[in-house]
Amino acid sequence: MLKEHKNRLLKLMQDANVDLAYVESLEKDDVFQIQMRNSRIVFMLKQVPGSFDEFAINYTLYQPNFPLKISSEDFEDCKPYYNINGGIENEYKYWIEAVVKRYIYEKEMPDFWSQTRFYSSLTGGSISKDDLRQFSAEEKNQIQIAVKEFERLVNNTYSPTQEQADYINERLKYLADAVDRLNRFDWKGLAISIVTSIAINLSVDTEGGKHLFRLFQQAFEIVMRLLGH
């Protein structure tokens, strides 16, 4: 396959803002293949005999088990075939938008349900008599200080946008104010829920979510001991 055609395909991928770290290519005989690394997602071009500019094409569809668009037999027989400056570009752009970008989006998206299970597991499954007590005045004061420290740690670690920072501030203010109306157990459950919501708002992955909770534990170390966590 001519380098001018291969370079054109790469340029179209760049123009679509696809991270090229996900992409690799392979050329064997008269077949040029663009593939998403460590996946079945592929776009193949088989050069038609006697022409530098005409190819049979085949590509993975975004469907369960990632099937190919046309049969292997038709592809091998160069049926149908397209001109590089016509139908191929349109099919290639479609593949990038409908398959490649959805694949990357799914791959990069955090598993929020996994994060929720992780956070929820930290609350424990049993309720003691002490859990049902209200906070003392000293505990309330310590929680207010710890909430501010957690907010500082989050802002320094994740550099949130202004919109995200406003959301974090609002959620943590709600958590701080809740000490006046919730018992110790219910407040811990609310804290888990709010940390989860902040992780989702920041779009951190599962490991990033665990780190966020470690920051929470760091800020609330003294308070956690008071709460018996």
- Within 8 A by CB and 6+ apart from 54, the residues are 47, 48, 81, 82, 83, 84
pLDDT in tens, 107-141: 766 565 655 554 454 445 555 556 678 888 888 88
Region for residue 129 given its phi and psi (left: phi exceeds 0; alpha: psi -120 to 50; beta: otherwise): alpha
Provide φ and ψ at 58, rounded to 5°: -150, 150
* pLDDT score of 224 more than 70: no
Task: Count CB-CB contacts under 10 A for residue 18.
Answer: 18
Per-residue pLDDT, averaged over 176-194, amounts to 86
Work out the average pLDDT over 164-175: 92
- Name, in order, each residue with C-beta under 8 angstroms of 120's C-beta and a sequence gap of 6 or more: 192
| pLDDT confidence bin for 98, thresholds 50/70/90 | very high
pLDDT digits (tens, 9 = 90+) for 34-88: 999 889 999 999 988 888 988 889 999 999 989 988 877 777 777 777 788 778 8
pLDDT at 216: 87
User: Helix 184-202 crosses helix 112-121 at what angle (to 10 degrees)?
Assistant: 160
pLDDT at 70: 83
Mean pLDDT in the chain? Answer: 83
Q: Residues 164-179: what's their mean pLDDT?
A: 92
Which of 196, 229, 190 has its CA nearest to residue 213? 196
Percent of the chain clearing pLDDT 70 (strictly above) = 86
pTM of this structure: 0.54
CB 145 within 8 A of CB 221: no
Measured distance CA(85)–CA(81) in Å, rounded? 12
> Cα(114)–Cα(124) distance, rounded to whole angstroms?
17
Crossing angle for the helix pair 162-177 and 184-202, to the nearest 10 degrees: 180
Residue 20: predicted pLDDT: 86
The predicted pLDDT at position 43 comes to 95
Q: What is the pLDDT of residue 227?
A: 52
Query: What confidence score (pLDDT) does residue 222 get?
Result: 59
Buried b (16+ CB within 10 A) or exposed e, 61-89: eeeeeeeeeeeeeebeebeebbebeeebe
DSSP run (H or E) holding 27: strand 23-28
| Structure tokens, 92 | 């290639």
What does the domain layout of the chain look like in residue ranges? 3-108, 112-227
Residues in a beta bridge with 56: 46
